[in-house]
Structure 1
Amino acid sequence: MRVREPALAELSPGAQVMGYTVERRLGSGGFGAVYLARCEGRAYALKLLDLARVGGRVEREVSILLKLDHPNVVGIHGFGVWPVASPTLGVIVMEYVEGRQLDVWASEENPSARQVARVVLDVARALEASHEAGVLHRDVKELNVMVRASDGVAKLVDFGVGDYAGAPGITVDILPPGTPEYRSPEAWSFFRRNARVPRAFFTPGASDDLWALGVVLYRLLTARPPFPTDHFMLADAVIANEALPPCQVNDRVPVALSEVCMALLAKTPASRTPSAGALRVALEALLQGADAAWDVPLCDAYGEDTATTEGGMDSHEQWLNEPLRRPRRGKRPKRELPPLWEGPALLMEAEAAAARTPRPVRSSRGWRMGAMALLVGCVSAGLVWGWRTPRVAVPAPTRQEVARPGSSSQAVRAAALPSGAESTPAAVAAPAMLPEATPVKMEKTESPTPPKPARKGAGAMRRPIVAAAACMGLACPGAQVRPPPPPEPCPERAVEVMERLGVKVGDHWGVTFLVDHPQVIKVTDGPAELRLLADWNRMPDGTLFSGRLIVSDRVYGRFTHARTRDGKRFPVCLELESESLVKGLAREPGDDSPASARVFTTGDVRAVDAFD
């Protein structure tokens, strides 16, 4: 019997897996989970993967780790399948790296150029050993580098989408698994040239790993991506645009280190740093000659100038009016947030209280009006259903909605839920790395044909009437009879704040739920958060939007508070839309509950001046 997906995250403390005692879960993803476990008093990271879903990737990852024995590569201590009687999970026992992901380390540590160079040197050494063994990582990024707390040593982790010479083929897509923001120009160019060529397949090399490490180094030095664009134009930017040298973006970056970074980001493999070994030699030489300027933190630290006297809170007025400058990193001063900015927490408490409050009994007149509204709603739903339903039955696609116009770039395709043999890589790195790499799936895109007008007469009305009758007989799913949310105003000054950030009413931008790769998830009525995908004018990449979801015929969302990565908060007025710019997210098959639904994790938010 196949283990249900949530079972990977249900092991309680004390559970025994292959002789290891589970202590706590470190992270989880769609196809696996990582636990901290102990055996004979020693800590390990147990990576559990669903065998039925990841296929040969478990064996490939084990084979890769067995080929590598290097101090800057996460070590393997064992592997097997579990439960023994009826194996459904692959188990990889790995070294437990007690520390922080590279992006978290950089954000909290506010490192100097010397510290960054040392960390990247460690990763270069790991790649040098991997490439010499014929292994490609194929997903080098901050989330797959751990900085050990005890000594600051960096370790490359998560070879779940890696490859090695002579490995049996798994990938059937035109591009192998990988994270779009770290793909090389040659990969994107190959996709553009061969998007319609049957069985075309890009073969990455060591230079692809080096390009990705160049992106990592750039972000460490400048706290921004080398190609700051939205995810729809990412491929174009990587292919055609030249990144500004890090020393021009941040004057604290040593020129020599900036040049090393730019050599990694050369547009062609021939002009790029030739090997990880060459990168190692260059960094070692730079560190030997580094002076005191290399010990200055690369970013400004948080201090008294970042807060106002009003509750010690960052003023959104101050933030909106300040010029673009070096970002801040490091520890923030302790301060209390005023009640105004406890929005998400207060919202959750208020909605929970409202849910516990008994509703008054409706009058008979109110009941009749409600029943009439219900009938009208059902008839309307039936009319729409009848208009949209084709007369000839055809297989339903995985996603019901068409892509937005102009969304055919590979940056968007790479964020779509794939449906091939390698739908999602099995990468769940130790200790807390989640599967974010998403393979690129070739899709046949056709313009939707407008439905023909329904014929007049009984035939045209039959489906709506049947739908209404079914609703009255309580045969429809609950979600179909629940009305859409009522109108409500935006938070005070939200529209003004958005406009000063360059976001006008009617503008829209890509967002995702807080998961690590695109997928279908279950959501419920109540508080929710979304993460902004790339900079939206002056609203920075990674900004979190807090609000609530309303489950109805679709899943509607209204988001009223924003929080940037560095803690700045301000009001917004954003309505959730699908990627085809329809209000609300479509309900995916599998949950007809009136208070919960299955939805895809990516969509858009649109700036509005009121919730209609």
Structure 2
Amino acid sequence: MRPPPAILSPGAEVLGYTVERQLGQGGFGTVYLARNAGQRFALKLLHLPRVGERVEREVSILLKLRHPNVVGLQGYGLWPPGAPRFAVIVMEYVDGRRLDVWADEENPTARQVARVALDVARALAASHAAGVLHRDVKEANVMVRASDGMAKLVDFGIGDYEGARGLTVDILPPGTPEYRAPEAWRYFRQHARSPGARYSAGPSDDLWALGLVLYALLTARKPFDGTDDASFIEDVMTRDPTPPHTENARVPLALSDVCMRLLEKTPETRTLSALAAVTELEQVLAGADTAWDVPLCDAFGEDTATTVGGRDSLDRWMRAPQYRPRRGKRAPPPAAEAEVTAPGTTVKSVPKPRRRSRAWAMVALALMLIAAGATLLLWTSRVAGVDPARQEVAASGESPQADRAAAPTGPEATAAAVALPATLQEDSATVTTPPKDTQPLQLPSKPAKTGMSTMARAVSTAAACTALACPGPQVRPAPPPEPCPVGAVKAMEKRGVDIGDKQPALFAKGDARIISIGEGPVEVHLLGSWKGLPGGSVLSGRSIVRDRVFARLTWATTAEGDSFPVCFDVHAEEGPRGMAREAGDDSPDRARIWTTAYVKAVTEFE
């Protein structure tokens, strides 16, 4: 079959709309920004042989919904004319940011979070009143408009409505497993071996997902964090999450209570309806005071990361410091800062900070000596893929909940040991299996860099910084975690790609070289055959520019025209996740990188 188009070139015409750029890509199609008569629209192209009746379902749902907090339908049709291969859904273009990106960059207050949650609740109330279920409420499906901060619920592609015919034969309907309600998992456990059993989602499933979204907005953490599928499902069904106001003291108690009612374990005890959630959120906002206008997380800065517990010994401090999560804009480095870069590491010399105790000076001395040794070790072992030491604080996804969660035991734990089920049927696809005697492909390597003088400068800078007891470098953190596309892990397993496998790839065809890359859609070309993935396959997704350049690849297209969802992280040739930024472009949304990389199969984007 022909795949959804990986990229339509700017200027392409689709049913009278002029394509400007790609906005995103999913399991069934691609979304583009396009113009018509001077106005901007979002064009969603769905591959007809793959989506079947699902396009009619989505259009029918959007026709039922007219609400300010729901993305609006502008039109639909088939393309190209005469021999259509794609359904085209024309939607209102929301100029803004995804909810998770908005939260990470904006560091919102409790008042802002409550208003966004209220917008989503209003969208769900209107949908449920029309007999429509979204079934995939999550941060990635909420857009926050830049002009006024209004939130809009988008992507009803796996939604449902009263009287609609079932489109799948799975025991659970399509959806993102991490956002499934406890009752769905209970049904799955009880009927996993019952032929023909089908769970019927209801409004309470959407409300549970809204509770998860609200919890993450308030705490920058997930309420459930099982180490594997079985423990995660067990937690969702049996463990009460730590209340948001306990997890984060800046969360108002009233808003925390609203969130906890959405996360009750049964539909009967949960918030009764989306309309009831709207009422509750309106009431708590009406009683909000000035405490609601304080950012919920610490901002990024030298003096803003606070620790939990004392730092009464070097051993305790180095073992497991606990940090409040941080959000917001990353401050640029101080003007007086001198930066020296050796391969894979950055050492910065900054002005002397405020007076520190003698003990902290000794700590800084020990750390800088360790860092200097690690720098030398990294330089001599970069080919072996040693991961450089990072000065980053604990990831925002980590939570004290992990220490409080007890592993399930007894018969219930055994019954819960079931892998997350596939939520969408995979289409059959013809792939070419490489011969068994295929030799491992050697990745084109970068030209050797002249590094001894750089290394000498780095060590001397480290020594100078040791004398001043300098703090560690401020690092822009990696992007927040994100689930894989629905069906991606199953599709990779079907083609023999094991989780953790790596394969060389190129950001641009041709000899290894430095290119400029920005945030947004990206394509990576696979080098050589990789089990069930033929050589030359194109992996597409999006790039994220931070202190390193990250690429999350979610779609594969083979030269034969087969296409399917995947979940690949990009790793630098040296080993670490993401690509190192090369000198020449320090802008926040563009970077220079080498074209040579490895792609790694993962179960989620960390």
Q: Which residue of 1 aligns with 2:323?
A: 325
Q: 1:19 aligns with which of 16, 28, 36?
A: 16
Query: Structure 2 residue aligned with 1:413, among 387, 409, 421?
Result: 421
Deviations 1:221-258 (A, max 9, x none): 01111112234222111011110000110000001110
**Alpha-carbon distance in structure 1 between the residues aligned to 2:158 and 2:131:** 14
In structure 2, the residue matched to 1:296 is: 294
Are the structure 2 counterparts of residues 550 and 45 from structure 1 closer, same or farther at C-alpha, using a change threshold of 3 Å?
A: closer
What is residue 271 of structure 1 aligned with on the other side?
269
Distance 2:259 2:78 in 1: 42
The whole-number CA distance in structure 1 between the counterparts of 2:269 and 2:545 is 36
Distance 1:332 1:187, change over 3 A: same
Query: 1:409 and 1:71, CA in 2 relative to 1: closer, same or farther beyond 3 A?
Result: farther
Give yes or no for the alignment of 1:287 onto 2:285.
Answer: yes
Shift of the alpha carbon at 1:171? 1.9
- Please list every run of 5 or more consecutive structure 1 residues that lacks an aligned counterpart in the other structure: 308-316, 345-349, 355-405, 424-475, 487-510, 529-547, 557-564, 570-587
Match in the other structure for 1:339: 341
Is residue 233–residue 416 contact of structure 2 (8 Å, CA) maintained in 1?
Answer: no
Alignment CA distance shift 1:141-1:102 (3 Å): same
Q: 2:51 aligns with which of 37, 51, 54?
A: 54
CA offset digits 1:381-425 (Å, max 9, x no partner):
xxxxxxxxxxxxxxxxxxxxxxxxx9985553348x84379x9xx
Cα 1:140–1:340, aligned 2, differ >3 Å: closer, same or farther? Answer: farther
Look up the match of 2:437: 480
* Residue 10 to residue 552, structure 1, CA distance change in 2 (3 Å): closer
Kindly report which structure 2 residues correspond to 1:198-209, keeping only aligned pairs within 5 A, or say none. 198-209=195-206
What secondary structure does 1:412 align onto? Answer: coil
Alignment partner of 1:107 out of 104, 109, 128: 104
> Could you tell me which residue of structure 2 aligns to residue 211 of structure 1?
208
Q: What is the rounded CA distance, in whole Å, between the counterparts of 2:434 and 2:545 in structure 1?
A: 43
* Residue 260, structure 1, aligned to residue 239, structure 2: no
What amino acid is aligned across from residue 279 of structure 1 in structure 2?
A
CA displacement at 1:568 relative to structure 2: 8.5
* Cα distance in 2, alignment partners of residues 74 and 512 from structure 1: 22
Output the amino acid matched with 1:260: V
> Which of residues 25, 42, 46 in structure 2 aligns to 1:45?
42
After superposition, give the CA deviation of every residue in 1:1-58 in whole Å (9 maximum; x if it has no partner).
Answer: x5x21x5223111111111111111111232000000110000000000010011110
2:87 counterpart SS class: strand
Q: Is the 8 A contact 1:31 1:49 kept in 2?
A: yes
Q: Deviations over 1:469-522 (max 9, x none)?
A: xxxxxxx95662315989xxxxxxxxxxxxxxxxxxxxxxxx999767514499
Q: What is the TM-score of this pair, normalised by structure 1? A: 0.60
> 1:5-404 counterparts in 2 under 5 A?
5=3, 8-232=5-229, 233-305=231-303, 323-335=321-333, 339-340=341-342, 342=344
- SS state at 1:73 partner: coil
Q: Structure 2: any 5+ residue segments left out of the alignment? A: 306-314, 347-378, 384-413, 444-480, 508-524, 534-543, 549-555, 576-606
1:70-110 deviations in Å (ceiling 9; x for gaps):
00000000001101110110000000000000000000000
C-alpha separation in 1, matches of 2:95 and 2:566: 33
User: 2:485–2:566: 8 Å Cα contact kept in structure 1?
Assistant: no
Question: Any conservation in 1 of the 2:171–2:199 contact (CA below 8 Å)?
Answer: yes
Partner of 1:427: none
Q: Sort the Cα spacing of 1:28 and 1:200 in 2 relative to 1 into closer, same or farther, 3 A.
A: same
Equivalent-residue separation in structure 1 for 2:193 and 2:117 (angstroms): 38
SS of residue paired to 2:5:
helix
Does the aligned pair in 2 maintain the 1:122–1:153 contact within 8 Å?
Answer: yes
* Structure-2 separation of matches of 1:69 and 1:341: 54
Contact 1:136 1:163 in 2 (8 A): yes
Q: Which amino acid aligns with 2:89?
A: I
What code does the residue aligned with 1:121 have? Answer: L
Q: 1:227 to 1:67 in 2, by over 3 A?
A: same
Q: Write the letter of the residue equivalent to 1:33.
A: T
Q: How many residues align?
A: 411
> Identity across aligned pairs (percent)?
56
8 Å CA contact 1:218–1:224 kept in 2: the answer is: yes
Distance 1:553 1:82 in 2: 33
CA distance 1:130–1:554, change in 2 (3 Å): closer
TM-score by length of 2: 0.60
Distance 2:55 2:557 in 1: 29
Q: Deviation at 1:61?
A: 0.4
User: Per the alignment, in what secondary structure is the counterpart of residue 252 of structure 1?
Assistant: coil
CA contact (8 A) 1:480 1:552 kept: no
Please state how far the C-alpha of 1:551 moved relative to its aligned partner. 5.8
Q: Structure 1 residues 591 and 132, CA, compared in 2 at 3 Å: closer, same or farther?
A: closer
CA distance in 2, matches of 1:149, 1:598: 33
Partner of 2:504: 525
CA root-mean-square deviation: 4.2
